[in-house]
Amino acid sequence: MPISALLTQYIARRPQRIALLQHIAEQGSITRAAKSAGLSYKATWDAIDELNNLTPKPLVERAVGGKGGGGAKLSSEGERVLRLYLRLQSLQAQVLEAAEEAGDLDLLSRLMMRTSARNQLQGRVSAIVAQGRNDLITLDLGGEYALTAQITHESTVQLELEVGSEVVALIKAGWLELHGPHETCPAQHSGLLGQVEQIITDLQGPSEVRIGLRNGQTLCALADAARVDELRLQAGGRVLVSFAPGYVLLGTPL
């Protein structure tokens, strides 16, 4: 299976996080890999979630908890992506030498943006429905998951979206609502049922809830302590995540 254009773009603009794959392969532990890569434990989990969300098959296989913060190893797909990264590293010097002017690199950095959205889900457009000046874009995330985004028709044209287009859905953690597994989502909202992987408590703010989906992707939601207690959330339990179409931003490869 060819590596997606979205992952290729990610490799180009986030080399430090791709390099984390090599640290995981060498260390066999999330905690040790984080230390070796110079990242915090939390940043390492974030990187793993991003990487796994951009591929049909997870790049990193992990076991939460245990001695050393949990074991971790690369899947066969992760090993393949790591080989690609190492090849790209060898080509990087040639690319830099080929830049005709110093301003060329500044131009490229402006064209490749980073985003503050914690949730980046890969999908394919399965339907586009006109709704006045807006379009409702349905994305197939795989594993029987789907979501709907509402964007302007102008954005649909600008992104050159059509059925089959590969896109990334960006959703801020604070935009996700959590419900019990047997509850019903608010009208017009997308709903994704998953399993709580981890709850990171923050005494000065909302807790961070990491939710694994059956398709291998991961969501990160924010919830105050009262909501966590009300839903009796705990690792291994099921939870329903919902969000409005207007809270979904779409991106495509350059």
Are 134 and 226 found together in one domain? yes
**What dihedral angle (degrees, nearest 10) is formed by the CA atoms of 178, 180, 185, 189?**
30
Q: 140 lies in which domain range?
A: 115-254
What are the structure tokens assigned to 44, written together? 């390492």
Residue 147's pLDDT is 97
Are 93 and 121 found together in one domain? no
Residues 69-90: tens digit of each pLDDT: 557 889 888 888 888 777 666 5
DSSP structure class, residue 247: G
Residues 204-247: tens digit of each pLDDT: 889 999 999 999 899 999 999 999 999 999 999 999 999 999 99
Are 20 and 140 found together in one domain? no
Residue 11's pLDDT is 56
Q: How confident is the model at residue 56 (pLDDT cuts 50, 70, 90)?
A: confident
Q: How confident is the model at residue 116 (pLDDT cuts 50, 70, 90)?
A: low
Are 183 and 154 found together in one domain? yes
Say which residues have a Cβ less than 8 Å from residue 107's Cβ, sequence separation at least 6.
Answer: none
Is 107's pLDDT higher than 90? no
Question: Of 153, 148, 155, whose CA–CA distance to 132 is shortest?
Answer: 153
Are 29 and 81 found together in one domain? yes
Residues 17-28: tens digit of each pLDDT: 678 888 898 888
Are 251 and 128 found together in one domain? yes
Are 82 and 133 found together in one domain? no
Are 24 and 127 found together in one domain? no
Which of 66, 83, 111 is the last residue before a domain boundary? 111
CATH of the domain at 36: 1.10.10.10
Residues 118-172: tens digit of each pLDDT: 898 989 999 999 999 999 999 999 989 999 999 999 999 988 999 999 998 999 9
Residues 179-201: tens digit of each pLDDT: 999 999 999 999 999 999 999 98
d(C-alpha 174, C-alpha 79), whole Å: 33
d(C-alpha 144, C-alpha 58), whole Å: 17
Residue 88's pLDDT is 65
Mean pLDDT over residues 1-19, rounded? 59
Are 213 and 134 found together in one domain? yes
Q: Largest Cα–Cα distance in the chain?
A: 60
